[in-house]
């Protein structure tokens, strides 16, 4: 996928040579015959790279660089210099110029190599910023996300749609791993070498969301002390993942629709057109078709986004993979916390499999982290949250398997603590009063 490159050169023949080489590499070269003309173009459009002659009539290439670098997000800059001014070019690198070329050009491969190096450096920076600003999902690896019979069809559909440019809408309850599925689509696509940028539309205040998506210019609003790139710019050439798209305010829905249609936008407070080439993947836990009927979501945007729908099953429909997920989280949190937890008791897995998991994989992750922190060696039912056990007790009749598991766990704790109820309660992670209540309910002590 090519880059937009501005060539600033007053020599018509040499400028044409550069344009021909870059276009042959699949890039989109634009031309300016002077630094002054380049400044005018840069005010209107966004570029991935600028290649400028050092010595020109009027403003020099170095002066052009010094002028555009005042922008908070200037494009990388390559200077072209004659052999007699190499020392000046080397000095310019110290000021921030990324690299320089000498003319006459030795061969086309020299230009190709310098441009490739510059674009890769920009990509690494963009990836770093995207990773830094994207909240870590903390969910298990893809092989577990797609494991089990309930995910077989999802796995097949991801394989079909990933190589295309189609917009994908991922539907499913919170915590089912929608972001990881989106990342999988990106990694299996032709855009895998570019950035995957995620935005949680529900986690950003409405008054900041427009700036988050499209960036802003210096002075655009109170607190905008410098220009800032938005997620659309960071994702250029790659994939933009909009999570909880149903939370997008109605006015921003209109702007998003325009960007999808025109593939360009302006930063908040700016007038420069910025071209964008991104694949959009969205996710929601809401029924957007119903919200369209209720006029809470734009119908035209819905049809633009719902090109290829995917629905993820909840964890309660994937109990076949629960033991594998539990094992993954135990190993992960034991390593992170330094706890010597090596496994989980069979009865604990039975308890986990009987729970409906309204929070899905993310809830399981949180519960397992707590259990590892509290547990010793092997995780037992008593290491699970009281709220989980209480919900299960409400669902199951007296004398059920769960009651028997709990009774045996309490007896084992008492035995290991020499029948000391205070120590047993601490080991079980419950209060002494709760232990007393349980002992009475199981007829282990009198009233």
CA angle 156, 161, 164 (to 5 degrees): 150
* Among the listed residues 54, 53, 91, 95, the one whose alpha carbon sits nearest the alpha carbon of residue 74: 95
**Residue 7's pLDDT is what?**
95
Q: How far apart are CA 316 and CA 358, in angstroms?
A: 8
What is the CATH superfamily name and number for domain 4-123?
Response regulator (3.40.50.2300)
Token pair, residue 32, equals 């300016």
**Residue 136's pLDDT is what?**
47
3-state secondary structure 61-117: HHHHHHHHCCCCCCCCEEEEEEHHHHHHHHHHHHHCCCEEEEECCCCHHHHHHHHHH
Collapsed DSSP state (helix, strand, coil) of residue 121: helix
240 contacts 226 by C-beta, under 8 angstroms: no
**Residue 137's pLDDT is what?**
46
Token pair, residue 302, equals 């819905």
291 contacts 297 by C-beta, under 8 angstroms: yes
Token pair, residue 429, equals 């992670």
**Residue 20's pLDDT is what?**
94
425 contacts 434 by C-beta, under 8 angstroms: yes
Spans of the chain, pLDDT less than 70: 1, 72-73, 83-89, 125-139, 225, 390-404, 429, 446-447
Same fold, 4-123 and 316-441: no
Q: How far apart are CA 388 and CA 429, in angstroms?
A: 13
Domain locations in the chain? 4-123, 142-313, 316-441
The pTM (predicted TM-score) of the whole model is 0.65
DSSP type of residue 277: -
* Among the listed residues 23, 88, 43, 83, the one whose alpha carbon sits nearest the alpha carbon of residue 61: 88
**Domain 316-441 belongs to what architecture?**
Orthogonal Bundle (1.10)
**Residue 380's pLDDT is what?**
86
* Among the listed residues 253, 286, 241, the one whose alpha carbon sits nearest the alpha carbon of residue 135: 241
* Among the listed residues 33, 36, 46, the one whose alpha carbon sits nearest the alpha carbon of residue 67: 36
Collapsed DSSP state (helix, strand, coil) of residue 268: strand
Max Cα distance, the chain (Å): 101
Token pair, residue 265, equals 């936008």
pLDDT tens for residues 275-302? 889 999 999 999 999 999 999 999 999 9
Backbone angles phi, psi at 243, to 5 degrees: -85, 150
Token pair, residue 213, equals 């998506």
Residue 110 CB contacts under 8 Å (≥ 6 apart), including other chains: 101
Strand partners, 5: 29, 49
C-alpha to C-alpha distances, 430 to 56, 217, 327, 394, nearest whole angstrom: 79, 55, 25, 18
Q: How far apart are CA 310 and CA 154, in angstroms?
A: 7
Backbone angles phi, psi at 384, to 5 degrees: -85, 155
Q: How far apart are CA 315 and CA 362, in angstroms?
A: 10
Q: How far apart are CA 447 and CA 441, in angstroms?
A: 10
pLDDT tens for residues 220-265? 787 776 778 889 988 888 999 999 999 999 989 999 999 999 988 9
Backbone angles phi, psi at 247, to 5 degrees: -85, -5
**Residue 189's pLDDT is what?**
92
**Residue 133's pLDDT is what?**
43
Q: How far apart are CA 431 and CA 4, in angstroms?
A: 65
- The CATH fold of domain 142-313: Rossmann fold (3.40.50)
Residue keyed to tokens 């992960």? 332
């Amino acid at each position: 996928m090519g880059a937009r490159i501005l060539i600033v050169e007053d020599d018509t023949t040499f400028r044409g040579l550069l344009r021909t080489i870059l276009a042959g590499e699949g890039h989109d070269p634009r031309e300016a015959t002077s630094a002054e003309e380049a400044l005018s173009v840069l005010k209107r459009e966004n570029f991935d790279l600028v290649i400028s002659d050092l010595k020109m009539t009027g403003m020099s290439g170095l002066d052009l660089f010094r002028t555009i670098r005042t922008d908070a997000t200037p494009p990388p800059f390559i200077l072209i210099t004659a052999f007699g001014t190499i020392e000046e070019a080397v000095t310019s690198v110290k000021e921030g110029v990324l690299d320089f070329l000498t003319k006459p050009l030795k061969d086309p491969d020299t230009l190709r190599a310098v441009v490739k190096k510059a674009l890769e450096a920009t990509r690494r920076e963009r990836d770093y910023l995207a990773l830094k600003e994207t909240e870590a999902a903390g969910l298990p690896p893809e092989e577990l996300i797609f494991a089990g019979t309930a995910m077989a069809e999802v796995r097949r559909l991801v394989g079909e749609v990933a190589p295309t440019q189609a917009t994908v809408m991922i539907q499913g309850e919170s915590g089912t791993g929608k972001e990881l599925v989106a990342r999988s689509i990106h990694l299996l696509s032709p855009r895998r070498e570019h950035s995957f940028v995620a935005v949680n539309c529900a986690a950003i205040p409405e008054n900041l969301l427009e700036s988050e998506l499209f960036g802003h210019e210096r002075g655009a609003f109170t607190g905008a002390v410098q220009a800032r790139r938005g997620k659309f710019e960071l994702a250029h050439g790659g994939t933009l993942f909009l999570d909880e798209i149903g939370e997008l305010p109605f006015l921003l829905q209109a702007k998003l629709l325009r960007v999808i249609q025109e593939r360009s936008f302006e930063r908040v407070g700016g007038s420069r057109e910025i071209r964008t080439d991104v694949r959009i993947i969205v996710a929601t836990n809401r029924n957007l078709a119903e919200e369209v009927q209720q006029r809470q979501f734009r119908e035209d945007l819905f049809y633009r986004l719902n090109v290829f729908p995917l629905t993820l099953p909840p964890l309660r429909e994937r109990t076949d993979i629960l033991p594998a997920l539990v094992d993954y989280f135990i190993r992960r949190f034991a390593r992170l916390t330094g706890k010597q937890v090596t496994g989980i008791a069979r009865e604990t897995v039975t308890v986990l499999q009987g729970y409906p998991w309204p929070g899905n994989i993310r809830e399981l992750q949180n519960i397992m982290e707590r259990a590892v922190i509290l547990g010793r060696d092997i995780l037992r039912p008593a290491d699970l949250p009281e709220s989980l056990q209480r919900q299960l007790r409400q669902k199951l009749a007296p004398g059920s398997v769960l009651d028997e598991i709990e009774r045996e766990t309490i007896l084992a704790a008492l035995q290991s603590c020499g029948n000391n109820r205070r120590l047993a309660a601490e080991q079980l992670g419950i209060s002494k009063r709760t232990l007393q209540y349980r002992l009475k309910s199981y007829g282990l002590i009198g009233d």
